[in-house]
Chain A
Amino acid sequence: MVDYLTELTFIDYTGYVLQILLIFIALAIVLHKKTGTIVILIASFSLVTASLYVLNNAPDVAIAEVAIGSAIIPLIYVISVSRQREFIVLDKAMDDFIITDEQFTGIGYILLKRFADFYHLELNITNDPMLGRQDEARDQRLIEDTNVDLIVTKDKETGDYILKGKASSLLMNKLEQMTKDYEHVRVVQFKDRGLGE
């Protein structure tokens, strides 16, 4: 065993050190909790494996791994992870329920902010005029086709505020519980027509 250890060259030492580093990075990826940090760990994992490919006399495979695993894969992960942090609300009521000038105030805004904070989501309110001008019957189509999660409208006869969302979404039950205290706010859930139509 001692003869084996003294015959190692410098390149062999580097290979062993990098492989032990690889085991630690893999353990960190599997055991960590936040997905935002794991994306950076994936990029460093790909870099260390590319160095190991060169040390194993395979330069073609190393170029392929660097190009694909360090630029393309982390970008796709960042896009899909950041998409899941937002909660998008379309405001069609356009009055005091949600005020969106310099600072955000209004009863509706406080309600939605409490709801979004409970799930650690970022609240994003828009009143895009192109989408806001569609009539009531197409609301379900609007939620399914675009990336809007909730629509706020005002009922003309009763003066209630209606919040519309998807029935299959698990967040809607929590929203219903939170709006029970407010007497002029109602929640309507759209039953979905199934995926893959």
Chain B
Amino acid sequence: MNTSASSSSRTVVSVSRRILLVAMLLVLFGVFTVSMLELEELYNDYGRQYFFENAFDETGSRNFVTSILLDYRLFDSLFEAGILLIAVSGVIWISKHDVEEKNARFMIDKYKTPDLFVTFSRLVYPLMLTFGFYIVINGHLSPGGGFQGGAIVATAILILYYINPDKETNIGFIVTVEKVVYLLIIVAASVSIVTRGTFFTNFFPVDAPADLKAIYLVLLNVLIGFKVSLGLWTIFTAFLKEGR
């Protein structure tokens, strides 16, 4: 990292090439500035008008971003959840430490966590978990949703590693649960073929009251939040086992 070659790192890319690089980037910057001056002619308003007038009646959620992610463009969200699954499997395969801990233990443990930190983490952990669940469930009424809440719950579980550094987690079990939850998401999204005739939308009909349509939104938010938090937890565990 800070090897002896770092003193000559300035000459790896020579000065004339750096000036050429900066000149090319400035040309790009000039082109972008010129095209920004004509933005008023390129901007169109139709999408915004449509969402403002019709989205609440058709989907039943007050948060427009959640209605796009879970009703109008559910196909994109399914593939995003699939990318998380692929990334988790890639990280586990590269690290090759799935169940047993095989690294050497040191005689002097230089990385002991201070006690103040441990006590504070014990205080903060239930609050963070509750906050994460609140954001997941209230995705259709206020800013939030499945992806955001899943990331917060994963951060809360990470605090457990500070409190107890020798915690053993069974990665195989977590990955199996994650795959089952992903299949449940696809099933819940495909129920609408029976009631409404198209795939990947709300399974209540369009003229049902907004409270009934919210059942589908809460269910899907909870499943997606579950899946995202499990996936990020697996990535942490693979990194921690590789790093110590």
A–B direct contact (CB < 8 Å)? yes
Interface residues of A (CB under 8 A from B): 33-35, 59-60, 62-64, 67-68, 71-72, 75-76, 79-85, 88, 90, 100, 118-120, 124, 126-128, 131, 145-148
Q: Mark B85-116, 1 if CB is under 8 A from A, else 0.
A: 00000000000000000111111000000000
Jot down 19 A-B pairs with beta carbons below 8 A, ordered by A.
Answer: A60-B145, A60-B148, A62-B143, A63-B135, A64-B147, A64-B148, A68-B151, A71-B155, A72-B155, A72-B158, A76-B235, A80-B243, A85-B1, A88-B104, A118-B4, A120-B2, A126-B104, A126-B105, A145-B102
**Seed contacts A63-B143, A147-B104; 13 additional CB < 8 Å A-B pairs:** A33-B6, A60-B65, A72-B158, A72-B232, A76-B236, A79-B239, A80-B239, A85-B1, A90-B104, A124-B106, A126-B105, A128-B104, A146-B103
For B104, list chain A residues within 8 Å (CB): 88, 90, 126, 128, 131, 146-148
Given contacts A60-B65, A67-B148, contact A35 B105 (CB under 8 A): no
User: Whole-angstrom distance between the alpha carbons of A84 and B3 in the complex?
Assistant: 11
* B144 close to A (CB within 8 Å): yes
Q: How far is the CA of A79 from the CA of B239 in the complex (A)?
A: 7
Counting chain B residues whose Cβ lies within 8 A of the other chain, the interface size class is: 20 to 34
Nearest neighbor of B69 in chain A, beta-carbon distance: A60
Known A-B contacts A60-B143, A127-B107; A120 and B3 likewise in contact (beta carbons under 8 Å):
yes
Checking B1, B143, B147 against A84 with a beta-carbon cut-off of 8 angstroms, the contacting residue is: B1
B152 within 8 A of A: yes
Would you call the interface of chain B mostly helix, strand, loop, or mixed? helix
A124-B106, A128-B105, A145-B102 known; A119-B3 Cβ under 8 A: yes
User: Is B239's CB under 8 angstroms from A76's CB?
Assistant: yes
B151 near A79: Cβ-Cβ < 8 Å? no
Alpha-carbon separation in the docked complex, A152 to B106 (Å) = 16
Chain A residues with Cβ under 8 A from B4's Cβ?
Answer: 118-119
Interface set of B (CB-CB < 8 Å, partner A)? 1-4, 6, 63, 65-66, 102-107, 135, 143-145, 147-148, 151-152, 154-155, 158, 232, 235-236, 239-240, 242-243
Q: Which residue of A lies closest to B144 (CB)?
A: A63
- Scoring A60, A71, A72, A146 by chain B CB atoms within 10 A of each residue's CB, the highest score goes to A60
User: B232 — which chain A residues lie within 8 A by C-beta?
Assistant: 72
User: Which of B103, B107, B143, B152 is within 8 Å of A59, CB to CB?
Assistant: B143
A148's nearest neighbour on chain B, judged by CB, is B104
Please determine whether A64 and B6 come into contact, CB atoms closer than 8 angstroms: no
Known contacts A126-B107, A147-B104, A67 near B240 by CB under 8 Å: no
Report the separation of the CA atoms of residues A88 and B107 in the bound assembly, to the nearest whole angstrom. 12
* B106: contacting residue among A80, A85, A126, CB under 8 A: A126
Name the one of A75, A90, A124, A148 contacting B236, with C-beta atoms under 8 angstroms: A75
Choose one: B2, B65, B151; the contact of A72 (CB below 8 Å): B151
Residues of A within 8 A of B6 (CB): 33
In the assembled complex, the Cα of A119 lies from the Cα of B2 at a distance in Å of 7
Are B154 and A79 in contact (CB-based, < 8 A)? Answer: no
Q: Which of B2, B66, B148 contacts A63 (CB 8 A)?
A: B148
* Neighbour of B144 across the interface among A60, A76, A84, A118, CB < 8 A: A60
Bound together, the chains give a CA A118 to CA B144 distance in angstroms of 51
Q: Please give, as numbers and ranges, the residues of chain A lying within 8 Å of B151 by CB-CB distance.
A: 64, 67-68, 72
One of B103, B135, B148, B152 near A147 (C-beta < 8 A): B103
Residue from B1, B148, B154, B235 in contact with A120 in the complex, judged by beta carbons closer than 8 Å: B1
Cα-based distance from A34 to B63 in the complex (angstroms) = 43
| Chain B min CB distance to A122 (Å) | 9
Least distance between B32 CB and chain A CB atoms (Å): 15
Are B106 and A67 in contact, CB atoms less than 8 angstroms apart?
no
Q: How far is the CB of B142 from chain A (nearest CB, A)?
A: 9
Q: Which residue of B lies closest to A63 (CB)?
A: B148
Please give, as numbers and ranges, the residues of chain B lying within 8 Å of A79 by CB-CB distance: 239-240, 242-243
A90 to B105, CA, bound (A): 10
Q: Which residues of B contact A82 (CB under 8 A)?
A: 243
Closest Cβ–Cβ distance, residue B118 to chain A (whole Å)? 17
What is the distance, in angstroms, from A91's C-beta to the closest C-beta of chain B? 10
